[in-house]
Structure 1
Amino acid sequence: MTSGETAPSEQPGRLSGLDGIRGLAALFVVLHHCRLLSFPGFPADTGPAWASWLLYGHFAVVVFITLSGFSLAVSPARSGWRLGGLGRFARRRAWRILPPYWAALVFSLAVAWALVPQPGQGAPTAKSVVFHGLLVQDLFGSPSPNGAFWSIAIEAQLYFALPLLLLVVRRLGAVAMVAAVTVVVVAVGLLAGGVPAVGMLMRLTPQFAVLFAAGVLAAGVLRAPVRGPVRAALPWAALGAVVPVVALVAVQGPVWTVAHFFWVDLALAPAAGLLLAAVAGGRPRPLVRLLDSRPIRSLGSFSYSLYLVHAPVVVVLHHFVVAPRFEPGVTGFLVLLALAVPVSVVFARGFAALFELPFQRHRGTAALRAAVRERLSRARPVPEAPGE
């Protein structure tokens, strides 16, 4: 989500590069969905070898979930791992993620009902509206109006775990917290095949809890910044952790990888956490400068909206513009990319201006109403004086 967390750039002492990671991850998901529509048969690789890497959009969600844990733990890490009140935390999360999500849900339902449903899905039903509206679509089945919404429910559910994770960090330390979460999740994975009650927990994508916890651990870099050789070694440690996983995925291919997402995601948790710790510490500098460049940072500022609305846009363009004119294949794929990427980005930017960015800038109903009144007063023409 892939993710509705408050960006570090909105906090004092902005952490360079993290908005860029979020923006590139969201863009990768757009490319992934263009790839799936152009070359049917996923998870089988039915397209050209040079586009095979676009089959792995799932791993962008891995980045989102880890980054979500990191971003939400930044402030607690700077204040003794304390959340600052459960009620306040819940209100801020709801204010941040629900308005754009619900607006995107209305948009997605309208597209699915009036134009074209999502691939492999029927028209949304009343259950679709209820389950997606309440963010429990990962628990209860119904036709999905948006192929990207599955991860938003998981992330929202992880918010409920954050206070407990922080409590464990205060009592036992961040490393012990990650170890405890990992032990529980690995036990679920090992028992799921033989114990039906445990197997039901797999609907929650439990490995994402480890990724979320790894992000919380990475935020500890801000509480006790690493220096010297250790700081310089973080990017190399991240690279060393990810290379074996990438090599395994490349050798085994997408069919095996999709069937083993649970274990592959767990294997990626150290690399994802180390990458965030490195970037938060300003290393490697060339990568941080790239991620913090204006275009990429700008993309990150509305990445949540891009993630939320791109799927219906891509499907509509493919169904009405590309598919009638091009057979599935490379040409249709390139045309879809050329259309869907800029249209999705521009549409998401406009969507964010209405439904996401105002809720970032104004932290409550009163502040938002005051901003709207001020905007309307500036837009209202000033009456001319008599005789003018």
Structure 2
Amino acid sequence: MKTQNKTHLLHIDGLRAIAALYVVMHHAMLEYKVSPKGALQKIFLSLFKSGHYAVDLFIVISGFSLMLPAIRRNYEVTGVWDFYKRRIVRILPPYYIAMAFSLLAIYFLLDEKTGSLWDQCIPVTSKSILTHIFLINDLFISEVYKINHAFWSIPVECRIYIFFPFLLYVWRKYGPGASILTSIGIAVVLFITLRILRQDYPGIDMATAGVNPYIILFTMGMLAADISFSDSKLSGFADRLPWGLLLIAAGIAFVFYKSRVSFYSDVNGNIENEIVDVLFGIICFCLLVICSKEKYKHSRLAFIGKVFSFKPLASMGIFAYSIYLIHAPLLHMIALYVIAPLHLTGFTATVVLIFGGTALIVGIAYLFFLLFERPFLLKKAVKVENKQRMPSHV
């Protein structure tokens, strides 16, 4: 199976940056419990209320990015255990360092409740630390947001990585349709399992635990990569589809259905919320195809890819993971020690934190990336390069 030789996709980095920045702005908006005065304030705050969907975008991009090298290798991973090791080196060291940073921040600066979003991160117990170390904090209502409220999604994504080689095997053996159905089956089975367990263990958090519906979104990312960069029959068929209209239709369906659902309404798990996530995943899927497929590079839709490929934006996407990992304690520090002494109104403080706080966090996150994320990326790159230089019989 041949693919186009794409070494780097700027629009993927741009989309990562948008997701990371939006999460920061969303949490900045939630830092203060502001009651908007007037329509303009209400509209402004509503622009930052949907941070959860940035995680959906991250997951779809993750499936897309991991699928690209697999397509070049005829839908295979270069050794299942090697794949797992690469994922561990990529994800866990920066995560544990960010956890240590969050714990130190709590111990010295952020250990008192202030009525803000940060309150759900404290107090920290030994159970909080252990569940975060072993990536099971998302399973427990009492622990899911402790230490750093953004950490809930890391265990979810790590579990999806466990399934990736199997999904790829099904993809190669039976086709993409079978792999997507498998991901749906996994999501449904785990959802039902958690629902049954919760009858005896009410402390299980159905809203964030497991892999559903994120494994479905991950597989959508895989499908977007296959459609965009393989020479399969599916890719040829996709050339005949009106992707602009599909994107609009997905957007309308998402907005219509979301208007009927109150998100975060139920720790017991709400299947309607899962459907909203999947609908947003379809939007992300369409966007990735439009931005990636060669056919659209010279069409009326080309401007979409160009917007996401804007280099200053794409450059932030390179360290989007660092932004995500450390933004929560930094936001609360800025709110307490920089903005609070200014004695601003709640709305003004929120605006300052959304824009000024986000800019400051991006700078600090870049330093975190240089110190604690890039070294592991470089180590991974060296290992891959050395492996490529080995004789074929090794």
TM-score, structure 2 as length reference: 0.80
Q: Distance in 2 between matches of 1:193 and 1:77?
A: 36
- Residue matched to 1:277: 289
Distance 1:134 1:176, change over 3 A: same
Q: 1:264 aligned to 2:276?
A: yes
- Residue matched to 2:38: none
- Residue matched to 2:391: none
1:116 maps to which of 88, 110, 133: 110
TM-score, structure 1 as length reference: 0.81
Q: 1:217 aligned to 2:227?
A: no
Deviations 1:205-243 (A, max 9, x none): 411111111112222122227469827722432232122
AA partner of residue 209 (structure 1) = I
Q: 1:139 aligned to 2:155?
A: no
AA partner of residue 139 (structure 1) = L
Q: CA RMSD in A?
A: 3.1
What 5-or-longer segments of structure 1 have no aligned partner?
A: 1-10, 42-46, 368-388
Aligned 8 A contact 2:187 2:211 in 1: no
SS for the counterpart of 2:380 is: coil
1:307 maps to which of 309, 324, 327: 324
Identity rate of aligned residues, in percent? 30
AA partner of residue 160 (structure 1) = I
2:74 maps to which of 58, 69, 80: 80
Q: 1:239 aligned to 2:235?
A: no
1:61 maps to which of 17, 35, 55: 55
Q: Distance in 1 between matches of 2:156 and 2:30?
A: 23
- Residue matched to 2:115: none
What 5-or-longer segments of structure 2 have no aligned partner?
A: 36-40, 112-117, 385-394
- Residue matched to 1:182: 184
Q: Distance in 2 between matches of 1:325 and 1:126?
A: 36
Q: Which region of structure 1 is more displaced relative to structure 2, 340-349 or 226-235?
A: 226-235
Post-superposition offset of 1:253: 5.7
Q: Distance in 1 between matches of 2:194 and 2:93?
A: 35
Distance 1:364 1:170, change over 3 A: closer
SS for the counterpart of 1:13 is: coil
Distance 1:364 1:338, change over 3 A: closer
Q: Distance in 2 between matches of 1:171 and 1:248?
A: 35
Deviations 1:25-61 (A, max 9, x none): 00000000011112369xxxxx613321311100000
Q: Distance in 2 between matches of 1:323 and 1:251?
A: 37
Q: Distance in 2 between matches of 1:295 and 1:25?
A: 15
Deviations 1:111-145 (A, max 9, x none): 11111143223232222222212222112443611
- Residue matched to 2:161: 159
Q: Distance in 2 between matches of 1:253 and 1:134?
A: 31
1:294 maps to which of 287, 303, 311: 311
Aligned 8 A contact 1:113 1:123 in 2: no
- Residue matched to 2:128: 128
Q: Distance in 1 between matches of 2:78 and 2:120?
A: 43
AA partner of residue 153 (structure 2) = S
Q: Distance in 2 between matches of 1:161 and 1:366?
A: 24
Aligned 8 A contact 2:120 2:149 in 1: no
- How many residues are treated as equivalent by the alignment? 354
AA partner of residue 279 (structure 2) = A
Post-superposition offset of 1:254: 5.2
